[in-house]
Amino acid sequence: MTIDFSLILACYQDAPHLRKNTLQLVKILQQSRLNFEIVFVEDASRDNSAAEIRATLAELAGLGVAHQALFHAENKGRGRTVTDGIRIAKGAVVGFIDIDLEHLPDALLPMIAKVQEGADVVVGRRVIANPGAKPLRVLSSWVYKTLVHFILELPVADTEAGLKVFSRAAILPILNITQDEQWFWDTEVVHRAYLKGLRCEEHPIVFLEKPEKQSTVRILPDTILYLKKLMNYKLSLSSTLDVHEAPSLSLEMVREDSTQSL
């Protein structure tokens, strides 16, 4: 069976909401005519996320939903986790969304459609529905976006949004030269795609802060770290990495592939 779309779910400490939110995403994708798969990548969580993924895989099998799961033996970071998911994905179009679903998934199908219509990269542009819930996080997001656009030329406003969709064939060579494996990955992969001439678009998404979710924002140290990463990346742009050298999946990961017919 040909897979039209692969949804990557990068999981770290997500046990409380993982199963419920995955099934919500499945319902949204089932509203389309897409043959889709769910690809979990578990990044060595300290909670029982791995067990929740395995339980969710059983539910997906019962629903006839194609799925894969990859488990990191040690924590690698958000960028590496999404990258590994894209590499094992089977869809011509791939995307990821933060599994806490603070980025409301209503925009997912329109963003997939944009890639099917010719875009290579579609980035969510966050519209914060309740900015008063976590004002420090809103401020930090504004600071990051301001720094990025001051230092880099970019075709989109919000590189850090946790909802992005790609043409898999177009983004794979970009992943091979993207160096950051943590949170700066989002900015780097979009900017490198733009530099290579990929068609980058954006789509508005509603971002709903969850007050119960503990914030890890540290305005001053996080801003300094982000600025360092930005400057180091800017200096690295003269690097002559070969885009055809694809790092292989490490042997320390355990892959569970249980694709089912839709």
The pLDDT tens digits for 27-41 are 999 999 999 999 999
Least reliable range by pLDDT among 56-60, 175-179, 232-236: 232-236
Any bridge partners for residue 167, and if so which?
93
| Amino acid, single-letter form, for residue 36 | F
DSSP code of 103? B
What residues form DSSP beta bridges with 97? 163
Of 220 and 178, which is predicted with more confidence? 178
Nearest to 141 by CA among 217, 206, 200: 217
Query: What pTM does this model have?
Result: 0.88
Contact yes or no for 142/87 (Cβ under 8 A): no
- Judged against a pLDDT cut of 70, whether residue 87 lies above it is answered with yes
Residue 216 reports pLDDT greater than 70: no
Mean pLDDT across 51-71: 98
Residue 221: pLDDT band by 50, 70, 90 thresholds?
A: confident
Asked if residue 101 has pLDDT above 80, the reply is yes
